[in-house]
Every structure is written in C-alpha cells, then in structure tokens.
Amino acid sequence: MPDKQRTFGQFETPPDVADLLLGFCLRRPEDRLLDPSCGEGAFLARAAWLQAWLTGGPLPAGTLWGVELDPQAAAAARHKLPQAHIINQNFFDLEPEPLRLFDAIIGNPPYTRAEWIDRLETDERLARQLAIFDEPEPGAPAGKSGRPGLGHRVLNRRAGLHAYFFVHGTPFLRQGGRFGFVVPNNWLDVAYGERLKQFLLDRYKIVALIESDVERWFQQARVNTCLVVLEKCTDAATRAANRVRLVSLGRPLRELIPYEVNDKQRLSHVEQLTMRLLPGHDTAGRDFAVRVVPQRELAAGDKWGVALRAPAVYRQRAREAPLYPLQNWATIQRGYTTGANAFFYLNPDTIARWGIEPHFRRPLLKSLRQVSRRQVAPGDCDQEVLRVPPTARLDGTAAGAYIAWGEAQGLSQRRTCAGRQPWYSLPEQKSAPLLLAKGIWERHFASLSAGDILVDQQLYQVYLSSDVPPLAAAALLNSAWFALQVELHGRVNFGEGVLWLATYELEALRLPDPRYLLANQVDELVALYREVADCLVVEVQREVTQPAWQALNAAVFGLLGLSAAEGQAIITALLERVAARQARARRPGEPLTSQTVPPLEE
C-alpha cells in the first residue's frame, strides 16, 4: 500500500471526516452522489449508511457512483458496495453527459504532489491522467472535453493533482449541488493556489472552509488538510452576498462526534454539528471558532488561511497601523544549495586530511538549531564551506586535489553541480547582518551575524538598506508581532510541524519601517534588543515569561498603537498557533517533545 499511496495518492478517509462532509453535502436520501476518486469505497460506504438512515428502508437505486483508476481498489469498492456504480476508469477521461448531473460530489482526491505528476504520466495505466489539461499544439483540435488547455489556463501546475478534480468535477454537478472535498490546505495561502481560488469564486458559493487546530486527519499522508464545502451557483450577485464560514476546530472530531461509527445517534449528532458550524455571526468556544466573511471580501490573491486563523486584533491592526512590507527595507536571500553537501561542507577531519588551504574555505553556519543566543560569530560554526572562485589557480593546491577527487566520484554530473561553471565554484555569497531560520519548530528568533559567515539554504540572510540600524531591525524581527505573522503566513512542511515561509512570503510580512521611526524610538528598540540578546533563546512558551522579551514586545506594540490588552491578545494568539501546529504534528498518543520534529533535508 505505501507504493500506491505514493503513486496514486491514496489515503483512506477516516469515518469522522467522511461523515462531517456528508453532513454538509448529502441533504436528501434520493440525492445522486459521486466520488470521483473513490479508492476502496470508504466515502461511499459512509454515504450508503447515511442514506439508509435517512430513508428508513431500501436504498434509492442509482444514487451512489464512484470512479477509481486503480483496478484493485475499484474491485474492492464493488465488493464492499454492490449497490453502487463503480467505474474503473480515469476520471479525467469521463464526460458528464452520459452520467447525468449529480446532486453532490464528495471525496478525498489523490494527494499527488506537483513533482510526482510526471511519474503518473510515464505509468502506462496513468498516461492520460492529465491529458485533457495539456496545452495543445498550435492548430491542434480541442480534446473531447472541448476545453483545450483548461488545466494550464485555470490552474498553476504546481497546485498538485487534487486541484484538477475541482476543475474537471464542476461540469458533473447540478446548480445548487454541493461539492465536499478533503484536500491539503497549502492552496489556501500559496501563490500557485490563486488560480484555483479564482476558479471557485467564479462558480461556487463557498459554504465553509474547515481546519483542525488539534489533530492531523491523515497520519500517514504527512500533510495537513482542510475540508472544503462548496455550492454551485451561476449568479454572481448571489455568490458575492454569500457568507463564508471559516472554521477552526478546537477539539478532535472523535470528541465532536462522540458516537461509534455504526450508532444511529451518530448521524443526528453530525446533522446538529453541521448546523452549529454555520452560524450567522462570528463565534468562538472550546469546540470550535467560526469567522463569518461575506464572499465579496475574499479575493483570490488573499491568503485564505490567514483569514481563517488570524485573531481579530491582528486583522484590524494590520489594516490600520503604519506598516510596510519587509522588502521595503530589507532583502531576503536563501543560503547555499550545493548539490553535494558532504563534499562542499568541510568538517575539521576533512580539512586536516586534505590540507585544504584557508583561502579556499570560509566559516559556514548550516542551522540555528545549536545557536543559544541571538548573535552568532565564526567561532560558533563547526563547519567550513569550500569557496573556490571560478578564476582561481588550482595547480599544485590541496583544494585542486580535493576537487579532482570529487570529480572522480561523479559529483560534477549531479544536476545542481553541472549547472555551475565550473561545477565546484559556488556562487558568491556576502555575509548578512541578520539570519532567520527557514524551518521553525518551537523557537522564533532572528540572529545577528557578527563576522564573516556563509550559510546553508536552511537559513535566510537578511540584508538591510544602508540607512536601517541593524539592532533596531533585529528588535522588530524578534518581536511577538513578527513571530505571529510567520505562524499565520507560514506553511507546515508535509504536516510534520516544521513551519517555513518562502522568500517572497517573508518579504511581504508587514512591520514598522525603522527609517520612519523617531530617533528616541530607534534608541529604545536598540537598547531593548541588547537586553534580549543577552538572554538564552528558548521555546516561545518559555520566552513569554522573560522580562526582557516582554519589554521588547511592549515597545513594538506601542509602535503599532496596541493597548496592553491587545498586545496580550497577540501573544496569546502566537502561543495558540504554535500549540496548534505542534499538536497536528503528533500522532495520537505521542508526547510533544523536541524529538517530534523531523530533520530538515539537505
């Protein structure tokens, strides 16, 4: 099954997730329901049980339909559900006309990532997986779908295979029909999700977007997911007036739906829960929090995940305070991607064994994990990087011998190395005054770089405009306000709890511009940062108790015009986001420790 999970993206839907989505989408016992990637029929089995409960008698004929590409899974679904119509075919090869329109489309489409799509296309059984979405040759006739190049025109290919199910599934759904999918949640916030969001806004009332703050629904999938509930609607004014419910669940679904999977009380409880998740106004409690947003206020370019997760005080202050994108006064660059870290990153034994000359190596910082304070110096680096300028004379040098050995190992043929001329010459990298970790687990901090230090791609270098005082910038980047933005705008790496932002996302975070502050405000930030810099860097939950960090935050909150209560709300929201991220990273029953975080890839 692991190979199928990786190739087909198959992960069986937990009954709690299936029942909640069905509670939104299956509204009448005679509704015709389609699962376009039904696997072994987990969703359809729950739908059959729900139909039996709604009818109290024999199931309506011809109401359950499933499509499955994998023949073994399709056969298992037929065996499990003889009353259902299971089509063993590529969903993207099907047209809606012969099947008639459906009242509901539900499912858990494949979690195939963008970089796996080429693998699908080279598999004989999967060769047509995306055929109708390919851009046709000039002058070539349209495919049988009549929508040439639909995928490339509507979606960014990086969106992953699950996004195409929304696009191809839409013509199969009647007006007023419901679409309910459980999908990875990254499309809510990333740039390549913008086209999918626009596609949905143009065709659907968005009924609800639902995330869990306390659990990961698919433990083996290693992704965080969300539930998407849509209602097909052609009228633009009706769509604009629709009220979208952005839902954060504060308790596991097994607690919100406390009955066993075959208990008849379960379904009436699910029905009640779906109604509770559709309030007419914002609400918050222990079970869940709901933010109600007019659909006209959602733009495809917005980060919908931020709208879902951000506290009210953050949303208001982000609109009103004099804030500017970080890119206005700083440039963010990622460190080295060498293509062969074991060769380019030199430890003391390698340096001693080969005798590599000092002028061909420079101190390297690979991670901030071992950094305990907010300042690093060359002495904190336990490795050096091989730094050979392209015009360097290597005849008779130890570095030249080392490079010849590396070439004999085939390193020059590696894709990243082969793209450089010469292959062993890493790009020029200038030391930056500030460093940020690319991956964040439990500590939020920016570190001052004191000296000539080069960094790995797991770190971001922050280069400041010439008129920005480094210590004032460091104060802002070490504040709870900045940390909360990172939590809200960042992505969780494959569901394992490590948070990261792309360069362009970091540059878009909004802060006071140090160049526009009064001299006394800058002086205060510098003095308070010096106090913080003397403290150990600890996890956020302990950081909030440190007087120096509290004083620094009070100053930053003052620049934002926040009251003491509003500042405390920012810190509380930060703690909640960190706790939610870490809770979703755990498997059931697993304790929360620093060992939970996986190693970052080189």
Token pair belonging to 147: 């929508």
Residue by residue, DSSP assigns 571-584 as HHHHHHHHHHHHHH
Whether 433 contacts 464, CB under 8 Å: yes
Please tell me the distance from the alpha carbon of residue 458 to that of residue 439, in angstroms, as a whole number: 7
Boundary-marking domain end, from 377, 400, 428: 428
Q: Are residues 299 and 405 in the same domain?
A: no
pLDDT at position 100: 84
CA atoms within 13 A on the CB side of 511: 30
Peptide bond into 422 cis (omega under 30): yes
Neighbours of 594 (CB within 10 A): 10
Nearest to 51 by CA among 65, 40, 38, 39: 65
| DSSP code at position 562 | -
- Angle formed by the axes of helices 470-477 and 519-533, nearest 10°: 70
Whether 365 contacts 454, CB under 8 Å: yes
Please tell me the distance from the alpha carbon of residue 485 to that of residue 37, in angstroms, as a whole number: 36
pLDDT at position 11: 62
Please tell me the distance from the alpha carbon of residue 287 to that of residue 250, in angstroms, as a whole number: 5
The single residue listed with the structure tokens 């055929």 is: 131
Q: Are residues 123 and 208 in the same domain?
A: yes
Boundary-marking domain end, from 392, 407, 428: 428
pTM of the model: 0.84
- The CATH number linked to 87 is 3.40.50.150
Q: Are residues 44 and 109 in the same domain?
A: yes
pLDDT along the chain (602 residues), means of 10: 45 88 92 94 92 78 92 94 93 84 93 52 49 46 42 64 90 96 90 91 98 83 84 97 96 94 89 95 94 96 92 87 94 96 97 97 93 92 95 96 97 95 95 94 93 94 96 97 95 73 93 96 97 94 95 97 95 94 68 40 32
Q: Are residues 408 and 462 in the same domain?
A: no
* Residues constituting the chain: 602
pLDDT at position 141: 46
Q: Are residues 330 and 383 in the same domain?
A: no
Q: Are residues 51 and 143 in the same domain?
A: yes
Give how many domains the chain has, as a whole number.
3
Bridge partners of 383? 364
Q: Are residues 398 and 509 in the same domain?
A: no
pLDDT at position 99: 76
Q: Are residues 358 and 422 in the same domain?
A: yes
Residue-range definition of the domain harbouring residue 493: 312-335+431-602
Q: Are residues 252 and 384 in the same domain?
A: no
Please tell me the distance from the alpha carbon of residue 368 to that of residue 374, in angstroms, as a whole number: 10
| DSSP code at position 58 | S
Q: Are residues 389 and 442 in the same domain?
A: no
Q: Are residues 324 and 352 in the same domain?
A: no
pLDDT at position 433: 96
The single residue listed with the structure tokens 């609607």 is: 233
Boundary-marking domain end, from 428, 460, 491: 428
- The CATH number linked to 539 is 3.90.220.20
Q: Are residues 416 and 440 in the same domain?
A: no
Token pair belonging to 70: 């994998």
First to last CA, the chain: 28
